[in-house]
Amino acid sequence: MKKFALLLAMFVVAFGMVAQAGQQIIVGTNAEFMPFEFTDDDNNIIGFDIDIIKAVAKEEGLSVRMHNQSFDTLIEGLETGKIDAAISGMTITEARKEKVDFSEPYYNAAQVIVVRDGTEGFTKIEDIVGKKIGVQLGTTGALMAEEVMGEDNSDLKQLRKYNMVFTDLKNGRTEAVVVDKPVAEAYLKQVDGLKISSPPMSEEQYGIVIKKGNKELLDKMNSGLAKIRANGEYDRIVEKWF
């Protein structure tokens, strides 16, 4: 009888622990998009988006495991079920909405052009035509560049990593980069010799991305976002990163 009581107690404790930790969701990100997601010296994934998704998950009794992958594989990862959600400074677009669901917007952004100090012009998107341009593969910046340069233009260098896109610009392999404004601003704080040459050229909103049709998780993300906006946690996270 004693043995049974002990087993029962162990079971109750174990069950309690599982219940407390809640359901774990695997969240994809491309941790090369400062200040939204990047890695620290110990290779931890940190940033505005990471704090947002963790705060949202906490409100909804979920735990989060981040999965670092290239930006252009996030939607596919959701479609195949490798990840449950993604947060990666991803702009809500009609084309993407055909493949995945988005939460309510959690941040506003815009594309800008970045050039080397001393470069003249590049004040509007048409100015990139006929020049060597760098973008990140699969982004709204890449799309915007393709719209004016044409899809298979060899002057448009599309790379998987933003670090490489900026390195090309610094080294003169490209003349300009099209990138999200908050990321350009964060990058320019770190490196000398570059500047933003255009005003904001688009109006974009980031959303948390969910596998299409997973209404339960989508509802949780929206309810969590509403809660952290209401209780001040959202503002605290903005304050921390911007």
Task: Please report, as ranges, the residues that interact with ligand GLN according to CB under 6 A.
Answer: 30, 33, 71, 88-91, 136, 139-140, 180, 204
Nearer to ligand GLN, 181 or 211 (CB): 181
Backbone angles phi, psi at 225, to 5 degrees: -60, -45
Q: How far is the C-alpha of 85 from the C-alpha of 210, rounded, in Å?
A: 5
Q: How far is the C-alpha of 175 from the C-alpha of 177, rounded, in Å?
A: 7
Residue 114 · residue 176 · CB < 8 Å: yes
Nearer to ligand GLN, 184 or 237 (CB): 184
User: Burial letters for 162-184: b for 16+ Cβ neighbours within 10 Å, e otherwise?
Assistant: beebbebbeeeebbbbbbbbbbb
Q: Count the Cβ atoms, other than its own, within 10 Å of residue 160.
A: 16
Nearer to ligand GLN, 47 or 224 (CB): 47
Nearer to ligand GLN, 164 or 227 (CB): 164
Nearer to ligand GLN, 73 or 197 (CB): 73
- As measured in angstroms, the least distance from the Cβ of 24 to ligand GLN is 23
- As measured in angstroms, the least distance from the Cβ of 54 to ligand GLN is 18
